[in-house]
Amino acid sequence: MKNYRADFPMLARRYQDKDLVYFDNAATALKPQVVLEALNDYYLHHNANIHRGPNFLAEEATILYEEARQRVADFIGADTEEIVFTSGTTAGVNLVARSWGEKNLQPGDVIALTRAEHHANIVPWLQLQASRQIKLQYIEVKADGTFKPESLAAVLTCPRLRLLAITQASNVLGQFYELENILAAAKARGILTLVDAAQSVVHHQINVRQLDCDFLVFSGHKLFAPSGSGVLYIRAAVLATMPPFLGGGGMITEVKADSFSVAAGPTKFEAGTPNIEGAIALGAACRYLQTIGQAEIFKREQELSAYFLEKLASYPWLRLLGGTQNRLPLFSLVITGLHPHDAADLLGEQGIVTRAGHHCAQPLHDSLGISASLRASLAFYNTEAEIDYFFASLNTLRQSFQN
């Protein structure tokens, strides 16, 4: 693979006298120059509110924003009318819960999640559980990261199941889930499906027609775009039946003193001035990834993963959470004799950025019987040399804690 490190200005960052080793990509990815330029270009040359006002700046900004919607739609195989720009994954799930959920769910209805969900795909449903007396059911996860078949079967045959809201990849176990069969089984029963692609979208090419889901959510910032940008895909037929969530400018066709009518299409869910520059930069990020080629990125990540796992095998005091098949380049570790928080702090002193904690997946950590783990999450711009440095640093660190 060509070396793309020069595309990411942050990789030139140093901490004290150390090179930056950025292993926290699952938290947020670094931004390439083309994304930063898209942001700059918007503010330096256009800077206008969109869909409002017949001036040339507003027209330019609107065209850029709608071009970005087209790029995102192409990126995941959707139509532009199915792409709602959001502030991120969390906003997308909340929008579905509040708009679709509050309209359609009755007390006793069931929403199914997996034990591997991020809090963003748990808490909005817990809120509905409290306000609408719905129930949550979890698909349990085995130690190797895969779903427990009996638990999956129980969920798919649950009589009151109305929505399956499921992650495509665990941000802790690193497991990537092939969801097609599960989504098809739900669909066959008339159950709607939501896919949380926050972790997966950056690693696997996504096609919503192939997945055949009703909703799909992800954040821009994990996809090399700015934070505060994000996408909610809603299948067109479902979108048409959903009431708006937030009310305000942009989502209406007409407002009178005592009534309003709602815009059609995704703008129904884009009340208020949106994160225009974020959406444009997200479009630029999608184009950047398509220029490299997602297959090329996937191949490189697989090489890095294989190298990481090979190195890992020589340290018996490191325990990897999850299995080794269908894995993202994301590794959550439990370290004998070293608390993850200390490890992350002290690795940081060596310029290595990782994350420690429960990674916003407390129910999963509870089910694994651990309170925290150290997570190294890689991107295609990371290197084997950085992996060597990570393990060598961790080894030194642990020794200093031994004596």
Residues forming contacts to another protein in the complex (CB under 8 A) are: 339-342, 345-346, 349-350, 356-358, 362, 370-372, 396-397, 400-401
367: which 2 tokens? 């089910």
CA 315 to chain centre: 30
CA–CA separation, 284 vs 398, rounded Å?
Answer: 42
Contact indicator for 207, 168 with CB cutoff of 8 Å: no
Q: Whose Cβ is closer to another protein: residue 71's or residue 375's?
A: 375
Shortest Å distance, C-beta 368 to another protein: 12
Active-site residue 213, yes or no?
Answer: no
Q: Whose Cβ is closer to another protein: residue 87's or residue 393's?
A: 393
Q: Whose Cβ is closer to another protein: residue 284's or residue 338's?
A: 338
2: which 2 tokens? 């060509």
Q: Whose Cβ is closer to another protein: residue 336's or residue 396's?
A: 396
Q: Whose Cβ is closer to another protein: residue 105's or residue 343's?
A: 343
Strands of the 355-357 sheet, one edge to the other = 318-320, 330-335, 373-377, 355-357
Q: What's the distance, Cα to Cα, between the start and end of the chain in Å?
A: 43
Shortest Å distance, C-beta 219 to another protein: 20
Shortest Å distance, C-beta 109 to another protein: 30
Residue in 158, 213, 286, 360 annotated catalytic: 360
227: which 2 tokens? 């934070």
Task: Name the phi and psi angles at 155, rounded to 5.
Answer: -65, -45
Burial class (CB in 10 A: 0-12, 13-18, 19+), 294: middle
The residues near 208 (Cβ < 8 Å, ≥ 6 apart) are 76, 77, 78, 82, 216, 233, 235
Contact indicator for 155, 184 with CB cutoff of 8 Å: no
Q: Write out the catalytic residue numbers.
A: 360
